[in-house]
C-alpha cells in the first residue's frame, strides 16, 4: 500500500479526502481555505503580541506537518490556537499593544505544550481514544473551554476602554462581526473577522487620520518594508513557570482535535479513529516547530471544516495548496507590516467578539451533547471550573505557579473523576467527546 493516497481526479459533487479536483479548480479552493482561517490566525498572534506574519508562515508549515503525519488522509488546516492567549498573557504580562517584549518565555511554554501533545498522541496511537473520551467527556471539555473565554474577559474589556472615539471604533468593529455572522451569506460568515477588521480600519482612517480624534495609523513601516524577505524569527527560553502555565493547554488541543477529526469522519462517512493519534502527533510537532521559531501554538480550525461542509470538497490536496500560499505570504515583510498597522481599538472590538464566542461555543457543546445539569457531578464540575478560570485563581509552589487556566483545567479533570467514584455509569458519563 502507498503511504499517501493516489488522489484520482473527481468531478462529482462530493470530493473525498483521497480524491482531488482538477488543478484549475483546486487552486481557488485552496485560496478560499486560506481566507477562511486567516482572520483568526491573524487576530490570535496580535492579541498575544506575536508577529502575525510568522503565524501565517508556521500555519502553512504546520499544515504540511499534519498532512504528512496523517498520511494525507485527514483534511484539515492548522492555525493559531486561541487557547494559548490567556497563558501567554499571564506568562509575559503583555500590555495588549505592540510586540510582546517577553516572547521567549512564552515560546518555551508553547514548545513544551507541543511536546506533551506529541506524547499524548503516541499513547493514543498505541492504546486508542477510549481513555481520553472517558477522562474528558463533554461536561469537562466544554467547562475548560468556557473558563478560557471568561479568563480573557478582562483583556477584552481593557482593549475596548478608552476615549469616546476609541470605544466607538471598538463597538463598530464588534457590531460588524456580529452582523456579518448573523445576516451574511455562508461565505461571508466564514470571513466575518476580516470584515470587522476592514470596517474598523476604515473607521480609524476617518476618525484618526482624517479628523484627528484618534492616534492615526502610521504607514511608515509599511512603505519601507520589502515585498519579499526573511521574517524575524525568535528563540524560545525555557522557564519552569511558563511551562507549568502553558503545557496544560495540550489537553484543550486534544479535545479540539479529537472533536474535529470525528466531525470530519462523520461528514465524509469514513471512520478516521485510526488517525486520531497521528493527528495529535502532527499537531504537537507543528506546535513545537512554530514555538521554536517565534510562532503561536496551532490547532485544527473549525472555519475550514465549515468550508468543507458547504463545498463538500474534502480533498487533502486542497490544504497543501493553502499551506504553500501561506508560506509564501510568510516571506513577505510587506504583508506582515500591513497586519501590524491594525489599530488598537479594532483589536479591542475583535477581542470582545472572539473571547465571548469561545465561552458561548462551549455552552453549545453542553446543549448538543445533552449534558445533564440536574446531575450534581456535572453541575459542580462546571461551576468550580468556571469560577477558578474567570477569577484567575493561581497557586504558587516556591518558584512554580499555576495560573487560572491551569487550575481550572486541573479542577475540571479531578472534580469530575472524584465525583464519579462509587456511582453507576449513566448515559452522560459514557457519551463520547463532542463531534
**Residue 97's pLDDT is what?**
76
Would 427 be classed as within a structural domain?
A: no
Would 435 be classed as within a structural domain?
A: no
Would 430 be classed as within a structural domain?
A: no
**Residue 425's pLDDT is what?**
60
pLDDT at 282 over 80: yes
Number of domains in the chain: 1
* Structure confidence by residue, pLDDT tens digits, 47-101: 899 998 899 999 999 999 999 999 999 999 999 988 888 889 888 988 777 889 9
Would 432 be classed as within a structural domain?
A: no
**Residue 187's pLDDT is what?**
65
Would 426 be classed as within a structural domain?
A: no
* Structure confidence by residue, pLDDT tens digits, 397-406: 665 567 777 7
Q: Which structural domain range is residue 36 located in? A: 15-420
| Mean pLDDT of all residues belonging to the chain | 87
**Residue 385's pLDDT is what?**
92
Would 29 be classed as within a structural domain?
A: yes
* Structure confidence by residue, pLDDT tens digits, 167-197: 999 999 999 989 988 898 766 776 787 888 8
Q: Identify the burial level of 93 via C-beta atoms within 10 angstroms of its C-beta, where 0-12 means exposed, 13-18 middle and 19 or more buried.
A: exposed
Cβ–Cβ < 8 Å for 301, 201: no
pLDDT at 431 over 60: no
**Residue 426's pLDDT is what?**
58
**Residue 104's pLDDT is what?**
95
Would 334 be classed as within a structural domain?
A: yes
**Residue 40's pLDDT is what?**
74
Q: What percent of the chain has pLDDT over 90?
A: 44
pLDDT at 227 over 80: yes
* Structure confidence by residue, pLDDT tens digits, 3-20: 999 899 988 878 899 999
User: Residue 161 to residues 89, 170, 347, 429: CA-CA distances in angstroms?
Assistant: 18, 9, 12, 43
pTM for the complete prediction?
A: 0.78
Would 8 be classed as within a structural domain?
A: no
Amino acid at each position: 500500500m502507498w503511504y499517501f493516497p493516489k488522489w484520482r481526479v473527481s468531478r462529482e459533487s462530493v470530493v473525498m479526502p483521497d480524491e482531488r479536483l482538477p488543478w484549475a479548480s483546486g487552486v481557488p479552493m485552496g485560496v478560499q481555505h486560506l481566507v477562511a482561517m486567516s482572520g483568526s490566525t491573524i487576530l490570535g498572534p496580535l492579541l498575544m503580541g506575536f508577529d502575525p506574519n510568522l503565524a501565517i508562515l508556521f500555519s502553512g508549515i504546520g499544515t504540511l506537518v499534519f498532512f504528512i503525519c496523517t498520511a494525507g488522509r485527514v483534511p484539515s488546516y492548522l492555525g493559531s490556537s486561541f487557547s494559548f492567549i490567556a497563558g501567554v498573557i499571564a506568562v509575559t504580562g503583555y500590555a495588549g499593544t505592540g510586540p510582546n517584549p517577553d516572547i521567549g518565555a512564552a515560546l518555551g511554554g508553547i514548545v513544551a505544550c507541543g511536546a506533551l501533545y506529541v506524547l499524548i498522541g503516541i499513547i493514543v496511537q498505541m492504546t486508542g481514544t477510549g481513555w481520553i473520551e472517558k477522562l474528558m467527556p463533554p461536561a469537562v471539555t466544554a467547562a475548560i473551554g468556557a473558563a478560557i473565554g471568561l479568563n480573557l474577559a478582562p483583556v477584552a474589556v481593557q482593549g475596548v476602554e478608552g476615549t469616546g472615539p476609541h470605544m466607538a471604533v471598538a463597538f463598530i468593529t464588534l457590531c460588524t462581526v456580529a452582523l456579518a455572522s448573523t445576516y451574511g451569506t455562508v461565505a461571508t460568515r466564514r470571513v466575518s473577522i476580516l470584515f470587522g477588521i476592514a470596517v474598523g480600519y476604515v473607521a480609524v482612517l476617518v476618525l484618526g487620520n482624517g479628523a484627528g480624534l484618534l492616534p492615526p495609523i502610521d504607514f511608515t513601516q509599511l512603505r519601507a518594508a520589502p515585498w519579499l524577505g526573511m521574517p524575524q524569527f525568535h528563540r524560545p527560553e525555557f522557564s519552569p513557570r511558563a511551562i507549568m502555565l502553558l503545557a496544560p493547554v495540550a489537553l484543550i488541543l486534544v479535545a479540539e482535535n479529537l472533536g474535529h477529526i470525528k466531525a470530519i469522519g462523520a461528514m465524509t462517512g469514513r471512520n478516521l479513529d485510526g488517525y486520531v493519534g497521528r493527528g495529535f502527533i502532527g499537531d504537537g510537532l507543528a506546535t513545537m516547530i512554530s514555538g521554536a521559531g517565534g510562532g503561536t501554538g496551532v490547532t485544527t480550525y473549525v472555519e475550514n471544516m465549515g468550508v468543507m461542509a458547504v463545498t463538500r470538497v474534502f480533498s487533502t490536496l486542497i490544504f497543501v495548496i493553502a499551506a504553500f500560499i501561506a508560506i509564501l505570504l510568510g516571506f513577505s515583510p510587506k504583508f506582515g507590516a500591513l497586519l501590524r498597522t491594525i489599530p488598537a481599538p479594532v483589536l479591542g472590538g475583535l477581542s470582545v467578539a472572539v473571547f465571548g464566542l469561545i465561552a458561548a461555543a462551549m455552552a453549545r457543546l453542553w446543549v448538543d451533547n445533552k449534558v445533564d445539569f440536574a446531575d450534581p457531578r456535572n453541575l459542580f464540575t462546571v461551576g468550580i471550573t468556571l469560577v477558578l478560570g474567570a477569577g484567575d485563581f493561581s497557586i504558587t509552589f516556591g518558584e512554580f505557579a499555576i495560573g487560572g487556566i491551569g487550575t481550572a483545567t486541573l479542577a475540571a479533570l479531578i472534580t469530575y473523576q472524584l465525583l464519579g467514584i462509587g456511582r453507576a455509569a449513566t448515559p452522560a458519563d459514557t457519551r463520547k467527546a463532542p463531534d
